[in-house]
Structure 1
Amino acid sequence: MIALPRCAGSCIPATRRLAVVFIILSAGVAPTIAKQEPFSSLEVAKNDLPKAQALATQLAALSPKVDPKEAKAVAECAYATARRLRSQYHMFGTPIFNNFLVYHGFRKRGYCYQWTEDLFLALDALKLKTLQLHWGEAYAGTWRENNCLVVTAKGQPFERGMILEAWRHFGYLRWNLLLSDEDRYFENTKWAARVRSRAAAAKTSEPRHGVAFQRRVTATEKSSE
């Protein structure tokens, strides 16, 4: 997660924080969000359909063994989920500014790992047979940590996968081959298993990650494993 130094949350003067709150309220963020039309969690927006089709084509091209129908389902679910989360998280401004809002309690969720968790679980519910989901992370355990979902053909090496990520792009889904990304990602199979386990157990406790505006975090649970 491209972010500010860990002390950024504590270094912001109180007056500036109050000013930010005033700006948020005066900008009418809440009313704007309230006006958004409801939609099905699996509905793909019309302007996202061409992009979802392109993603499906690229996922199917990962291997001749990939079922095109499954690739289509993943692509459509990914775009629909990103749209839903964008509304649920009330995305406003830059990714770092959203971290600020989450840190100070103006938003309940919205850190990059939370985007990845929710997208991961939405796609995992498809019970994929020819595609496989992986948890990717860059700069793990630091204030620059970023997490993403990586999709490969089943049994394919992590490095040959496709990144699905929305936090860096203001809540809009972006995808690219892992090896073409500007950051170097590594797989964390333990964290993927933990996400699945916590979801299955319906636990509500939040894990800790090294992200901007989480000054209370000195080490992540992931990095200690």
Structure 2
Amino acid sequence: MIKRVVYLFSLLAVMVLAGCSTGSPNGPAQASKGEILELAADIRALGSDVDPEEAYRAAEIAHLYTHQLSQQYQITDGPLIHNMKVNMGNRPRGLCYHWAEDIEARLKQENFQTLDLHRAIANAENPFRLEHSTAIISRRGDTMFKGMVLDPWRKGGVLHWDTVEKDTKYNWVPRDKVMLRKRELRLSRERGERSRASG
């Protein structure tokens, strides 16, 4: 834990010295029609049975809702600076898991028939990297590993997408699996503390 805190403070110092704020005072720009069409084509490519209308609707919502959330979250900086502002209480939301749960919830409202939604977490057991959450869209019936990452956090309110397979910056693990592991570790620690207290 101490190593992680030292790493994070070092990272913060480097960011401040480098002036790494990548945002703008008005927040990120809204996606172009071309970006929406590009994502729609990538979602269609997940499988021949993906409905083109659903792929387009998912792409349009993912982009437009990302922009809407960036305004609600008051994004004016890069993701790490914004995280600091959220953690200090200066911004309402905008941590990676906020983006992931809000994007997933909005897309689920569409009740897609040919697409599924998933959640994933990376770096949960790496003390030298920040844990990161994302939403993933896939062809109906496929696992998240055959899906498309929808990640507005990493570019500070601009939607990043790529297939899970090609998104090598992160080693994505199903969120349920990560949460189960965290629960098991917490229970194990609690048992150890009780054992030490009674011994």
TM class, shorter-length: 0.7 to 0.9
- Residues 113 and 146, structure 1, Cα contact 8 Å, conserved in 2: yes
1:100 and 1:177 map into 2 onto residues whose CA distance is 29
Q: Do residues 66 (structure 1) and 69 (structure 2) align? A: no
In the TM superposition, what whole-angstrom CA distance separates every residue of 1:2-25 from its partner, at most 9, and x where no partner exists? Answer: xx94367889xxxx9xxx9xxxxx
Q: Is the 8 A contact 1:137 1:185 kept in 2?
A: yes
Query: Deviations 1:104-147 (Å, cap 9, x if unpaired)?
Result: 11011111000111111110111111000000110126551001
> Within 1, Cα distance between the matches of 2:5 and 2:69?
26
What do residues 131-176 of structure 1 show as CA deviations (whole Å, max 9, x unaligned)?
0000011012655100111111011122111100011101100100
Q: Is there any run of 5+ residues in structure 2 with no aligned partner, and where?
A: 17-23, 185-199
Aligned to 2:132: 146
Partner of 2:182: 223
Q: Which residue in 2 is equivalent to 1:92?
A: 76
Task: Work out the CA distance in 2 between the residues paired with 1:100 and 1:76.
Answer: 29
AA aligned to 2:183 is: S
* Distance verdict in 2 for CA 1:186–1:95, change over 3 Å: same
SS at match of 1:73: helix
| Structure 1 residue 186: Cα displacement | 1.1
Q: Which has the higher contact order (CA 8 A, sep 6+)?
A: 1
Question: Which residue does 1:126 correspond to in 2?
Answer: 110
Q: CA deviation at 1:61?
A: 1.3
- Root-mean-square deviation over aligned CA pairs: 2.9
Give yes or no for contact 1:132–1:152 (8 Å, CA) kept in 2: yes
Q: 1:139 to 1:68 in 2, by over 3 A?
A: same
Q: Distance in 2 between matches of 1:10 and 1:78?
A: 33
Q: TM-score, normalised by structure 2?
A: 0.74
| Equivalent of 1:188 in 153, 171, 175 | 175
| Contact preservation (8 Å) 1:136, 1:150 | yes
Runs of 4 or more consecutive aligned structure 1 residues displaced over 4 Å after TM superposition? 7-11
When the two structures are aligned, how many residues end up with a matched partner? 168
Please say which structure displays the higher CA radius of gyration: 2
Return the offset for 1:222. 7.3
Check conservation: 1:134, 1:189, Cα contact below 8 A: no
Residues 1:119 and 1:54: Cα distance change in structure 2 (over 3 Å): same
Partner of 1:163: 149
CA distance in 2, matches of 1:125, 1:146: 24
Q: Distance in 2 between matches of 1:157 and 1:10?
A: 37
